[in-house]
Amino acid sequence: MCGIAGLISYDRAPEPEVLLGMRNTLLHRGPDQQGLYVDEHAGFAHTRLSVVDLEHGRQPMYLRHGDEEYLLVYNGELYNTEELRAELLAVGYHFEGHSDTEVLLAAYSHWQGACLDRLNGIFAFAVWEKHRKRLFLARDRIGVKPLYFTIRENSLIFASELKAILSVPGVTANLGADGIAELALLSPGRTPGKAILRGMEEIKPAECAYFSREYGWQRRIYWKLHAAEHHENAEETAGHVRDLLKDAIERQLVSDVPVGTLLSGGLDSSIISSVADIYFTARGKRLKTFSVTYKDQAKYFKKTKFQPNGDDEYIARMNRYLGAEHFDVVLDTADLAQALSAAMEARDLPGMADVDSSLLLFCRQIKDEVTVALSGECADEIFGGYPWYRDETIRSRAGLPWAQSTDYRFGFLRPEWREKIDPQAVVMSQYEAVLRDADTSPEAMPEQKRIQEMVRLNCDLFMQTLLSRKDAMSMACALEVRVPFCDYRLAVYLYNVPWEIKEFGGREKGLLRAAMADFLPREVLYRKKSPYPKTHNPAYLGAVRGLLRNILEDANAPLCALFDRAQLETLLRDEGRAQPWYGQLMTTPQTIAWFVQVNYWLKKYRVQVSL
């Protein structure tokens, strides 16, 4: 993966020093190579993490085809590179190496924006059509790789991370009433296309756009999930899923640098690790797997409805099953709290607190052994694994299933901000916008129609928070994390599978278990869903309480310009009224830590609060 940035201006030539400044903010994403391009209207900056074709994948990459000239900066991986290369060779294109960057640039030259319909991968890229003086931007269908931008009069600035845009002279971090509403009521989630700060936006998943002097800003969604009849029975469906998933995993194991897998002992990561282990063994290689836990976790672990057991015994069982080389990463409470600030800087926004910082610390350790890792994110969204898919009461309720504490969250805002915000309208506008766009079959039973709406809600909103976390924390460590369950072919197929087949055997993700039964030991195959592991050590709660206490003792703490000091004091005491902040991933310790991150963000990024 890489870091990309650029500046298009029709008033004056971009300054190389500005592009260098943007590039320097993204060096963590691509420490292997750096590139720069500047002409009379366009400037591109690139930092490269070399994964495939270390010699010929340098960027910005230039292509002249007839009278046309193209410059490309690209962050991502294509998993159908060889098929595309064969098509392009057949029509006269030539290639210096075997990088997917070369293939992508030729594909754009040949098919223009329609090339997006042919790409299987995770990507965010920009093409400068020098002959037309026009910029093209695009992002992958699922939204795995980020792409932010801001438009100012006759100029556009874009980058993989907000910090690169904020490094441009004259660009400041400004928070208005809409941003405060997003921060207080939706964070760490966001409205698609928004980036909380005023004037900052994000190319949406499956969106592309042109920017030119003549026509300004033009954008469109090039793909979405469509309803269709499903004609296969349960057995045929399981076979189809097995073939698609195996192919997705195996395509994503291709690399010129070391590859490993994240292994939690849960269903999703264990499936990926098992398929990868077979793939590696057949080629005379040994897979590396990585697991994370916390110091004294066994001592303090408490079972809950949503986390019925710890990971250790299942990780051990998978280790005995696989022939892989396994690495256990054990995180300490003090390090977890200390890394909250680094995790916020990686994301450029307040995030999921220690759910973020633990992944950041984990990725740092993984990077010592491999450059690419495969992870099990996003299976729950497309297979219906979350509790709210199966709980009919929650499933039928209007609103966001993971945002059931809107009034509680709203109560933390200072009174002057509460007067300007309608909390239910903020949350429901997200919900209603997704449902308006959701394609459901008119012939479908009400249950199937609602499941398709739930898939869209989860893929468009909840999953984006997890993908943003994964990209930010891993790329802060120059680690490329691939997510096979985000293969769009799986999403397309599963969108129309009837719920009774998805819930095969009356179990969450029953279809996935049936499809991959031959790849796992029985204990892991039938393990009940368990979320990403959080520390249960009471020392962590004590640590973040101490951090927030220090903030509240500062009369000029920026946090208290937005949030009510008395309510924060009540949270510190946790007098039995605390509610989950963002689903079950963020409870009292994470809520306190989130406020610590907000204060650090406001101060570090010099965020100006105004109407």
CA angle in degrees (0–180, nearest 5) for 578-579-584: 135
Residue 204 DSSP label: P
Q: Cβ contacts of residue 411 below 8 Å, gap of 6+? A: 564, 567
Q: What does the alpha-carbon distance between residue 254 and residue 372 come to, in Å, rounded to a whole number?
A: 10
Question: Tokens 């595309």 map to which residue?
Answer: 84
Task: Exactly one of 2, 208, 477, 486 is catalytic; name it.
Answer: 2
Sheet bearing 480-482, strands edge to edge: 325-331, 288-294, 259-262, 372-374, 480-482
Single out the residue of 118, 31, 77 nearest to residue 251, CA to CA: 77
Q: Pairing between strand 155-159 and 2-9? A: antiparallel
SS3 letters for 82-142?
A: HHHHHHHHHCCCCCCCCCHHHHHHHHHHHHHHHHHHHCCEEEEEEEEECCCCEEEEEECCC
Single out the residue of 173, 149, 185 nearest to residue 461, CA to CA: 185
Q: Pairing between strand 259-262 and 288-294? A: parallel
Q: What does the alpha-carbon distance between residue 611 and residue 608 come to, in Å, rounded to a whole number?
A: 10
The string over 48-68, giving b where at least 16 C-beta atoms fall within 10 Å of a residue's C-beta and e elsewhere, is bbbbbbeeebbbbbebeeeee
Active site residue 2: yes
Question: Tokens 């937005």 map to which residue?
Answer: 562
Single out the residue of 445, 436, 498 nearest to residue 237, CA to CA: 498
Active site residues: 2
